[in-house]
Chains A and B, each alone.
Chain A
Amino acid sequence: MRPVIVLVTALLLSSFSGLACLASDLDGFTGQKGTLKIAGGTAHIPVMKDAAQAVMEMNPEIKITIAGGGSGVGIKQVGEGIIDIGNAGREATTAELETFGLTMIRWAIDGVAVAVNPKNPVHALTSEQLRDIFAGRVTTWKDVGGEDRQINLYTRDEASGTREVFWTKAIKKEVIDTKANVVVSNGAMKTAIANDPYAIGYVSVGHIDETVAPVTLDGITPSLETVKNGDYKVARGLFSLTKGDPQGLAKLFLEYLLSPSGQDIVVEKGFISVQ
């Protein structure tokens, strides 16, 4: 798993940016020190990174590490006590919660958008077309109003919460074509689509920037507004889990995420705040 995590972090490192925060929300970290390990869902990473940077700038005694791996990894590793906070882009199952005695909080709402390369002229699909494409029944862009080129499918592995949401809500549990390429994170999905003019895949709405183009589904464009007012249905909560009740730095960090400045980061990164 290690190389995958390294890759995820490497791909995301480029977009590191600072953020001005209300000092008062960070007051809890005064006088604290130690390390906080976070891993799991890759949709969470942009927010986690900025929040961690704000905390570490305010108090250099605190070290926070953030890794990817997917929602399954987040739940598993936090349960085993390897990390302090596990991220998941889906609700943990009752079995998972009970086995490890996990506590789950939701700090953002996120849409999962179908995405294509910006050079692709196809920017709108119907649910029907989307299902046909991902099932492998429609294999050329020409059939949905694009160029006469083969459609290159990209999907995520089974540990992905993003895949889970896309699979259940966007394509109604249609069996995804086995020939689809599998990528390991939201970041890797973005890179794959940005590099392949004939690609189609799906990413967390918070990850969409100028390198990938979101696809309008049944006339509804995935955006903050449409997810918020419920028009765009392919959405889910972003969760963080701790083993037992959150304590120490993990507690402070989660409280910070839910504070006004934490929620500002959530909005800034393209998600919907929960407070």
Chain B
Amino acid sequence: MRKADSRQESILLAATIGSGTLVIGVFFLMLHLGWPLLVSGQFFSLLFQEWRPAEGIYGIYPMLVGSIAISLLALVISLPISLGAAFSATLLAPFWARSFLLLLVRYMAGIPTVVYGFVAVFFLVPFMREHVTGGSGFTILAAAIVLAILISPTMIIFFVNGLNSVSRSHRLAVDALGGRPTQKLLYLLIPQAWPSLAAGTIMGLGRAMGDTLISLMVAGNSIAVPETVTDSARTLTAHIALVIAADFSGMEFMSIFSCGIVLYIFTVLSVGVIRLSTGNKIE
């Protein structure tokens, strides 16, 4: 028995080390491929330059702004909706509606990204063009709306899990004291579950930042630095997808490793923020 236990342990340990090494390996590979940029000191100037390949300028600043704008706006749209849905699904809605809501959310989480993108190109974008933003309709706003729909199931599921994990005895105590559902939510569930709420929010932001297809299809991919949410923009991920096709030996191709490195650092930072802000409570 002990022997089997230790074998299982070592297999699991090997898997852990394997996947951990892979993640670190990816970083070192990007560092290796982007090394010429770093040693020449161009990496940091790339972060603040525009993208004009015809003139030999390969900055990723417009994409950086585009990525941040689209993902933050998506989060701003999605957060209140997701919080509301999670509160309803755990506490505020009638009992029969709660399970229906969760079923719907899980179903939404399973819809492929490309379906959202496709529907957006043929309905949302023309609608935006005719009635809201003018121009071509391929805008930060349109992409953020679609991304908000895309990331909300992830966030809702995270929130619901967090709210449900608050101990039953505490909840019964609130009921026993005659607390209303909203009081239970405000004074018990939110304070207790806030690490999950924070983690879900950052997960949502990470997903919005990392999504490629929606921004590629809906945001318009222009290389201008966006000024308003009704401008077209290109994200870092869409930029990688577009440029990976170009002349692979040139500086143009090399510069996309800076996008990769920036995205990687962003992910590491968000995970770090979750860890720190929640005091390692999330397992």
Residues of A participating in the B interface, judged by any CB pair closer than 8 Å: 1, 3-4, 6-7, 69-70, 72-73, 76, 93, 95-96, 99, 150, 152-154, 157-159, 173, 175, 177-184, 191, 195-196, 198-199
Interface contact A182-B114, CB-CB below 8 Å = no
Other than A182-B220, A195-B126, give 19 A-B pairs with Cβ distance below 8 A: A6-B114, A76-B245, A76-B248, A153-B136, A154-B136, A157-B242, A158-B245, A158-B252, A159-B246, A175-B55, A178-B223, A181-B220, A181-B221, A182-B221, A182-B234, A184-B216, A195-B122, A195-B125, A199-B136
Q: A3-B114, A196-B129 are in contact. Are A178 and B224 (CB under 8 A)?
A: yes
- Measured between beta carbons, the chain B residues less than 8 angstroms from A157 are 221, 242-243, 245-246
- Measured between beta carbons, the chain A residues less than 8 angstroms from B135 are 150, 152
The smallest C-beta distance from A196 to any residue of chain B, in angstroms, reads 6
Interface contact B54-A175, CB-CB below 8 Å = yes
Which chain B residue lies CB-closest to A95? B249
User: Is there a chain A Cβ closer than 8 Å to B241's Cβ?
Assistant: yes
Interface contact A1-B221, CB-CB below 8 Å = no
Which chain A residue lies CB-closest to B247? A72
Q: For the complex, give the distance between the alpha carbons of A70 and B245 in Å.
A: 7
User: Is there a chain A Cβ closer than 8 Å to B72's Cβ?
Assistant: no
CB-contact partner of B248 in A72, A175, A183, under 8 A: A72
Q: For the complex, give the distance between the alpha carbons of A183 and B220 in Å.
A: 8
What number of B residues sit within 8 Å (CB to CB) of A?
39
> Considering residues B122, B134, B136, B244, which has the most beta carbons from chain A within 10 angstroms of its beta carbon?
B136
Which chain B residue lies CB-closest to A199? B136
Interface contact B248-A3, CB-CB below 8 Å = no
Residues of B81-132 at the interface with A, using a CB-CB cut-off of 8 Å, are: 114, 121-122, 125-126, 129
Interface contact A179-B242, CB-CB below 8 Å = no
* Binary A-proximity of B33-45 (CB < 8 A = 1, otherwise 0): 0000000000000
Q: For the complex, give the distance between the alpha carbons of A4 and B117 in Å.
A: 12
User: Is there a chain A Cβ closer than 8 Å to B204's Cβ?
Assistant: no
Q: For the complex, give the distance between the alpha carbons of A271 and B266 in Å.
A: 47
Q: For the complex, give the distance between the alpha carbons of A10 and B223 in Å.
A: 26
Interface contact B246-A72, CB-CB below 8 Å = yes
Which 8 pairs show the lowest CB-CB distances between chains A and B?
A159-B245, A182-B221, A152-B136, A178-B224, A181-B220, A157-B242, A73-B245, A70-B245
Q: A178-B222, A179-B224 are in contact. Are A4 and B216 (CB under 8 A)?
A: yes
8 contacts between A and B (CB under 8 A): A69-B245, A96-B249, A157-B245, A158-B243, A179-B224, A181-B232, A196-B126, A196-B129
Which chain A residue lies CB-closest to B231? A179
Q: A72-B247, A152-B135 are in contact. Are A179 and B212 (CB under 8 A)?
A: no
CB-contact partner of A158 in B114, B125, B222, B246, under 8 A: B246
* Binary A-proximity of B168-195 (CB < 8 A = 1, otherwise 0): 0000000000000000000000000000
Q: For the complex, give the distance between the alpha carbons of A70 and B212 in Å.
A: 18
Q: For the complex, give the distance between the alpha carbons of A138 and B55 in Å.
A: 23
- Measured between beta carbons, the chain B residues less than 8 angstroms from A4 are 216, 241, 245
CB-contact partner of B222 in A96, A179, A184, A199, under 8 A: A179
Q: A69-B245, A72-B246, A182-B234 are in contact. Are A3 and B222 (CB under 8 A)?
A: no
Interface contact A182-B241, CB-CB below 8 Å = no
Interface contact A182-B136, CB-CB below 8 Å = no
Interface contact A183-B245, CB-CB below 8 Å = no
* Binary A-proximity of B42-66 (CB < 8 A = 1, otherwise 0): 0000000010111100000010000
CB-contact partner of A196 in B136, B245, B246, under 8 A: B136
Which chain A residue lies CB-closest to B212? A3
Q: For the complex, give the distance between the alpha carbons of A5 and B168 in Å.
A: 50
- Measured between beta carbons, the chain A residues less than 8 angstroms from B242 are 157-159, 182, 184
Q: For the complex, give the distance between the alpha carbons of A157 and B223 in Å.
A: 10
> Considering residues A95, A179, A184, which has the most beta carbons from chain B within 10 angstroms of its beta carbon?
A179
The smallest C-beta distance from B250 to any residue of chain A, in angstroms, reads 9
User: Is there a chain A Cβ closer than 8 Å to B137's Cβ?
Assistant: yes
Q: For the complex, give the distance between the alpha carbons of A178 and B129 in Å.
A: 19
User: Is there a chain A Cβ closer than 8 Å to B158's Cβ?
Assistant: no
The smallest C-beta distance from A190 to any residue of chain B, in angstroms, reads 13
Interface contact A182-B223, CB-CB below 8 Å = yes
* Binary A-proximity of B242-283 (CB < 8 A = 1, otherwise 0): 111111110010000000000000000000000000000000
* Binary A-proximity of B133-156 (CB < 8 A = 1, otherwise 0): 011111000000000000000000
User: Is there a chain A Cβ closer than 8 Å to B166's Cβ?
Assistant: no
The smallest C-beta distance from A1 to any residue of chain B, in angstroms, reads 6
- Measured between beta carbons, the chain A residues less than 8 angstroms from B30 are none
The smallest C-beta distance from B49 to any residue of chain A, in angstroms, reads 13
